């Protein structure tokens, strides 16, 4: 089967687009998640055109071969992991920005475009693509769409799903389907575009996306507030999100509202020598990109002080603001350096229950004698409890997995969800079933069957 598969793929793809060297294929076997099984694929396919993707999918359908669509493989749920005999369909070569339209405020891109490259390209036109995952200099737009990713500025601007207006998708049998629109408004038929966002490559292969843009905002100004307890920091979050803008509107909401607990602060300091305060229990970062960010930060600073902040320090300029944001972006990398391996949870809870989650995570860490740092998109209630452990220590690895599951259970108990932006993949399959319930899971499977009756697109993921 493998030789037939390779021959059939090469018949419709250019030289160098089908890789079979075992050392090379092994490198495409997994994303960045821990505790997710994978095996090297039979082949890696690197198409550059829609027609080449169609050829791959037609071949896979005829030979009944599983296909795993991949971007930068920076995901954290095992959604890009391959199995023996499968095709790793890497879309990184489809990396063209096809159009930037300032009048319609859209960009048309291929799936392999790096998030940061798109952001910089539209900024040169006075426009803004808001979704900004922490891995924005590495992750691709196709991967962002597959996992419905978020980022630091979601509290004001929303997540990837809100910016995907239309798609071109190659289906499992090789047919090309268009969804959505290029217009500012449109409600024709079922919203299949939204269906594909977050589907983790299980329904089709995205080969082109029409993305909504916004006018570029003014530069952000950041405030840092220190708290002697995570509960006080979370009470400040509730006060800030409940207050709205100084004029009573919601237009002046923070552009970001991020939290780092003491474990994360110490890890970042150890990793990057950034001089963050280690005596504080939680650091809250708020930023505004409004016409008068200093005034907005003054209001937020007062709310933080009322909630018990021990120190409130507004950044003096853009350079200082960027330094604070860089510290937040380094959080997950710094926590990984603590023990060498991490399991990064992605629990999202109602903002009003944020303190309950963070305090619960600390109890779980103490129970299992583990280091668990938390950084969070606090304005969204989306937390990333990060379990640090030594993967070579079987006992510690067991406790790490148990703590991870207990954190997800806690999130559900608090009225939350098992994933706010990282997706389900392999890591959270059983938890998706618990969250959806039997009827919800049955309908999800029915949708999957309608698009992929042979179950060749990313099988074994989600459910």
Note whether 51 and 121 are same-domain residues.
Answer: no
Note whether 194 and 78 are same-domain residues.
Answer: no
Note whether 239 and 267 are same-domain residues.
Answer: yes
**Model confidence over 278-315: pLDDT tens digits?**
899 999 999 999 989 999 999 999 999 999 999 999 99
Q: What is the mean pLDDT of residues 143-166?
A: 94
Q: Dihedral sign, CA of 129, 134, 138, 140?
A: negative
What integer pLDDT is reported at residue 135 of this predicted model?
87
- Is residue 462 in a domain? no
The CATH code of the domain that includes 208 is 3.30.465.10
pLDDT of residue 1 exceeding 60, the answer is: no
Contacts of 392 (CB under 8 A, 6+ apart): none
Note whether 40 and 124 are same-domain residues.
Answer: no
**Model confidence over 348-405: pLDDT tens digits?**
999 999 999 999 999 999 999 999 999 999 999 999 999 999 999 999 999 999 999 9
- Is residue 59 in a domain? yes
Model confidence at 251, pLDDT cuts 50, 70, 90, reads very low
- Is residue 163 in a domain? yes
Task: Choose the final residue of a domain: 177, 192, 215.
Answer: 215
pLDDT, the chain, mean: 95
pLDDT of residue 247 exceeding 80, the answer is: no
CA separation for the pair 111, 144 (Å, rounded): 9
pLDDT of residue 246 exceeding 50, the answer is: no
**Model confidence over 194-218: pLDDT tens digits?**
999 999 999 999 999 999 999 999 9
**Model confidence over 71-94: pLDDT tens digits?**
999 999 999 999 999 999 999 999
How many folded domains does the chain comprise?
4
**Model confidence over 107-140: pLDDT tens digits?**
999 999 999 999 999 999 999 999 988 888 999 9
CA separation for the pair 388, 271 (Å, rounded): 14
- Is residue 460 in a domain? no
Note whether 82 and 119 are same-domain residues.
Answer: no
Report the candidate in 423, 419, 426, 452 with the shortest Cα–Cα distance to residue 83: 426
Note whether 126 and 205 are same-domain residues.
Answer: yes
Note whether 291 and 154 are same-domain residues.
Answer: no
Percentage helix, strand, coil, to 5, in the chain?
40, 20, 40
Q: What is the DSSP string of 106-156?
A: EEEE-TT-BHHHHHHHHHTTTEE-----TTTTT-BHHHHHHHT---TTHHH
User: Looking at the chain, how many residues does it have?
Assistant: 463
Task: Choose the final residue of a domain: 156, 186, 215.
Answer: 215
CA separation for the pair 218, 311 (Å, rounded): 26
The CATH code of the domain that includes 24 is 3.30.43.10
Task: Choose the final residue of a domain: 90, 125, 155.
Answer: 90
Under a CB-based contact definition with an 8 Å cutoff, are residues 308 and 235 in contact? Answer: yes
Note whether 279 and 177 are same-domain residues.
Answer: no
Report the candidate in 287, 271, 403 with the shortest Cα–Cα distance to residue 347: 403
- Is residue 458 in a domain? no
Q: Which domain holds residue 281?
A: 221-413
Q: What is the DSSP string of 217-258?
A: PPPPEEEEEEESSHHHHHHHHHHHHHH-STTS-STT--SEEE
Note whether 112 and 161 are same-domain residues.
Answer: yes
What integer pLDDT is reported at residue 250 of this predicted model?
44
Share of the chain above pLDDT 90, in %: 90
Give, as one character, the DSSP assignment of residue 24: H
Note whether 225 and 209 are same-domain residues.
Answer: no
CA separation for the pair 386, 343 (Å, rounded): 6
Note whether 167 and 262 are same-domain residues.
Answer: no
Among 99-103, 275-279, 370-374, 457-461, which is the least confidently predicted range?
A: 275-279
**Model confidence over 37-64: pLDDT tens digits?**
999 999 999 999 999 999 999 999 999 9
């Amino acid at each position: 089967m493998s030789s037939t598969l390779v021959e059939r793929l090469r018949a419709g793809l250019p030289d160098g687009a089908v890789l079979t060297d075992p050392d090379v294929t092994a490198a495409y076997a997994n994303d960045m998640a821990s505790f997710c099984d994978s095996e090297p694929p039979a082949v890696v396919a690197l198409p550059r055109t829609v027609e080449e993707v169609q050829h791959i999918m037609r071949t896979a359908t005829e030979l009944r071969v599983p296909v795993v669509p991949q971007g930068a493989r920076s995901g954290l749920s095992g959604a890009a992991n391959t199995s023996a005999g499968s095709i790793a369909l890497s879309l990184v070569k489809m990396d063209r920005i096809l159009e930037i339209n300032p009048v319609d405020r859209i960009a048309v891109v291929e799936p392999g475009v790096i998030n940061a490259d798109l952001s910089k390209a539209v900024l040169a036109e006075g426009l803004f693509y808001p979704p900004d995952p922490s891995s924005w200099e590495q992750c691709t737009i196709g991967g962002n769409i597959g996992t419905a990713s978020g980022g630091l500025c979601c509290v004001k601007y929303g997540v990837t799903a809100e910016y995907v207006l239309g798609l071109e998708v190659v289906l499992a049998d090789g047919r090309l389907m268009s969804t959505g629109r290029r217009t500012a408004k449109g409600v024709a038929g079922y919203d299949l575009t939204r269906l594909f966002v977050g589907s983790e490559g299980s329904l089709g292969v995205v080969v082109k996306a029409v993305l909504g843009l916004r006018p570029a905002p003014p530069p952000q100004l950041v405030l840092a507030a220190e708290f002697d307890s995570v509960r006080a920091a979370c009470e400040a979050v509730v006060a800030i999100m409940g207050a709205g803008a100084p004029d009573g509107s919601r237009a002046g909401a923070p552009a970001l509202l991020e939290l780092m607990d003491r474990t994360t602060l110490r890890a970042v300091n150890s990793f990057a020598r950034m001089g963050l305060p280690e005596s504080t229990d939680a650091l809250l970062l708020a930023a505004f990109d409004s016409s008068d960010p200093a005034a907005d930060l003054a209001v937020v600073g007062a709310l933080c002080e009322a909630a018990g902040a021990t120190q409130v320090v507004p950044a003096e300029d853009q350079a200082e603001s960027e330094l604070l944001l860089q510290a937040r972006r380094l959080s997950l990398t710094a926590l990984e350096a603590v023990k060498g391996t991490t399991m990064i949870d992605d629990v999202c809870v109602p903002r009003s229950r944020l303190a309950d989650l963070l305090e619960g995570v600390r109890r779980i860490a103490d129970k299992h004698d583990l280091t668990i740092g938390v950084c969070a998109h606090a304005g969204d209630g989306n937390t990333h409890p990060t379990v640090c452990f030594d993967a070579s220590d079987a006992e510690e690895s067991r406790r790490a997995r148990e703590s991870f599951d207990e954190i997800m259970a806690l999130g559900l108990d608090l009225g939350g969800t098992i994933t706010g932006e990282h997706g389900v993949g392999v890591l959270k399959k059983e938890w998706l079933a618990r969250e959806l319930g039997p009827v919800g899971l049955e309908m999800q499977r029915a949708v999957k069957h309608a698009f992929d009756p042979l179950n060749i697109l990313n099988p074994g993921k989600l459910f």
